[in-house]
Amino acid sequence: MGIGLLTTLLLLFAVVAAGSLMLLMVRSPAGAAGGSGTASLNPTPRGTAAGSTGTATANPTPTGGATGSAAAGSVLEATATLLFPPSGTACGDASGDYTSCPVSSRMEQRLMALQAMAGIPYRPMCRCSRDWESVAITAAATADTVDVTFKFSGGQVTMAVSMVPGVGSSGWVADDTTCNGGDLYSQTEPPPCWAPG
């Protein structure tokens, strides 16, 4: 009788121990210390919505890498081409009216103020005093800037054009130009990039 009771108690202990082990395995996250990682009550990764695999993104538009950079760069270069066409005269410089140019409102106001201050032949958009012979527009090191290289008969100069997102559906617009270490807003006199004789 004593052996039967001992056997029953041992079997009961084994069942309870096995159940506790199973419960511990089920509650332990996969790969956690003390758990085997074979079962989990919560397979959803932390920080993701239920049913999410954790690999989807809320923003399918490329924001980095070669594809995103190339796409953004081509849009900025297209905007810069509107500002500095091959014709040799920058947008608005001939008339002094920059309202139809893809520029920010603060840049438009600054360009008009510079033209009123300097008068002809100064051209505030290109920061030069005459037509260029050719122009090359290339992506710059920063994602929101393009380099515009003007070639004149006496030499060439490169100006960095900083862009910002436009209002509404305007796309990207120019907001500043920098050459010779000075931007469009930092100087009280009309800042030149190139003034060939």
CA distance readout (Å), 161 to 19, 62, 132, 175 = 70, 23, 17, 8
Question: Residue 9: which pLDDT band, with cuts at 50, 70 and 90?
Answer: low
Architecture of the CATH domain 86-183:
Roll (3.10)
How confident is the model over 37-54, as pLDDT tens digits? 444 333 333 333 333 333
Q: Residue 87 gets which letter from DSSP?
A: T
How confident is the model over 125-136, as pLDDT tens digits? 999 888 999 999
SS3 28: coil
Distance, in Å, from the CA atom of 108 to the CA atom of 131, rounded to the nearest integer, reads 20
pLDDT score recorded for residue 130: 87
Question: Residue 192: which pLDDT band, with cuts at 50, 70 and 90?
Answer: confident
Looking at the DSSP bridge assignments, the partners of residue 164 are 173
How confident is the model over 129-161, as pLDDT tens digits? 889 999 999 988 888 999 999 999 888 999 999
pTM (predicted TM-score): 0.62
Looking at the DSSP bridge assignments, the partners of residue 150 are 135, 157
Distance, in Å, from the CA atom of 80 to the CA atom of 146, rounded to the nearest integer, reads 8
Domain ranges of the chain: 86-183
pLDDT score recorded for residue 22: 44
Whole-number CA gyration radius for the chain: 34
